[in-house]
Structure 1
Amino acid sequence: MNIIVTGASSGVGFETVLELILSNHHKVIALARSQEKLTRLLEIAKGLNPECTLYPIAFDIVHDDYEDLRSSIATRFDNRIEILINNAGALVNKPFIKTDETDFVEMLQSNFLGHVRIIQSLLPLMPQGTHIVNVGSMGGVQGSAKFSGLSAYSASKAALANLTECLAQELTEQQISVNCLALGSVQTEMLEAAFPDYQSPVMAFEMGKYVADFATTGHKFFNGKILPVAVTTP
């Protein structure tokens, strides 16, 4: 399968790519802003599976040129994307009273609008049966536990969850499935930034394995769903 993973330089995205490349049936494009971290990802991937097909591309989903990216993807994937995993994201951890408008804009760009842009850009390359997986957060799920300092982050993740439901309806005729995995705590750099003294029972490699499996099989059972994937929150 032809698979794209954004936010692949660390955490869940990094581990998702490593899980996917274990199968020689998959071709994976890994997107992230850091070329250095992508180079490390490729080195580890080749160590795990020397025959894997992995293309690391340094790309900022908020600011970079999508025309060039689409051309690059079309060439590598023969104009066909079968799975898009929207994992890229960022975190602002501040009390609401100290969270200014720039912080909210940053969260919406990184955790919502960047995903809007990449989906719009790549839809022409998606045939029937494509699966779009948005990696969200329990913080963006209505009725879930909320935490001080994460209002901008959680609001942006709520927007991504709502977009998931809207797109699943809008793409019905194209037979493209769209789901959102609302993650709870996972031991990553982002969790450490939000909850410095907390140790999650779920490791990044464990969640990466789950996300990879869901991306390749979940659309057979779900569409337009916001699925909690959480042992703890946090």
Structure 2
Amino acid sequence: MSKNIIITGTSRGIGFELVQLFAKAGHQVLALSRNEKPIQNLKLDNVTAFPFDLNDNEAYKKVDNFIDSDWEHVDILINNAGALINKPFSETSMEDFGNVYKTNVFGVAELTRVVLPFMRKESHVVTISSMGGVQGSMKFPGLAAYSSSKAAVITLTELLAEEYKTSGISFNVLALGAVQTEMLEEAFPGYQAPTTALEMAEYIFDFSLSGNKYYNGKLLQVSNSTP
């Protein structure tokens, strides 16, 4: 049965692959990214893509209007968009922290808040976090803003699951290990991750469709390395 799915951060990497997986499986997709061209260029029949900036208040109204007029309900929201800054903490300004948190935390919270009224029983909100945001996991210098923001959405997910526990809507968060994406290459030039963007997208695709049967308010660590 076809579902209505919203995915953020779709211009490249995992988000770009996810749109194609859901479209090929026959689902309706709203692909949101600051750069809508890569998805539009695919010319997929059941995909709508328009420019969307998580930091732009007006952009959320556009999403609200689209759901209201074209879909009426949303089955799955995947908060995949992310911003990453890699620089020594001593050089990381309040503005740097603000830019990362606006996308990784405030944007996730606001889009979820806008979409929730259109969700019903058995809907699923999946937020993409990072192993760097998990307490007790290995940490890397230079990622104070990024990893702490990814920790924030883990707790946010737990809180939403509690607040909406009578609604039948599930909230889960996936903490990803290293995935070979453009964002990783920009942050750690030359580093080779063990997992491709498509491999991780396939996992998220399956989890988004069925994970809410087994999990709610849970953090799943999707990484094949320890700690």
Structure 2: where are the runs of 5+ without partners? Answer: none
Question: What is the RMSD of the two structures over their aligned residues, measured on CA atoms?
Answer: 1.4
Other-structure match for 1:75:
69
Q: Deviations over 1:51-76 (max 9, x none)?
A: x4111121112214122220112222
* Counterpart pick for 2:19 among 8, 17, 20: 17
Q: Is the 8 A contact 1:7 1:32 kept in 2?
A: yes
- 2:144 is equivalent to residue 144 of structure 1: no
Q: Which amino acid aligns with 1:27?
A: Q
Equivalent residues in 2 for 1:1-234, closer than 5 Å:
1-24=3-26, 26-40=27-41, 42-43=42-43, 46=44, 52-65=45-58, 66-77=60-71, 79-232=72-225
8 Å contact kept, 1:140–1:155: yes
CA deviation after TM superposition for structure 1 residue 92, in Å: 0.5
How far off its partner does 1:231 sit?
A: 1.9
Letter in 1 for 2:28: K
TM-aligned CA distance change 1:233 to 1:62, over 3 Å:
farther
TM-score (norm 1): 0.92
Measured in 2, the distance between the counterparts of 1:33 and 1:167 equals 26
Distance 1:17 1:137 in 2: 20
SS in 2 for 1:3: strand
What does the per-residue CA deviation read over 1:142-171, in whole Å, with 9 as the maximum and x for residues that have no partner?
Answer: 000000100100010000111011101111
State the aligned residue count.
224
Q: Matches of 1:224 and 1:192 in 2, distance apart?
A: 31
* Equivalent position amino acid for 2:14 in 1: V
Secondary structure of 2:195's counterpart equals coil
Displacement of 1:122: 1.3
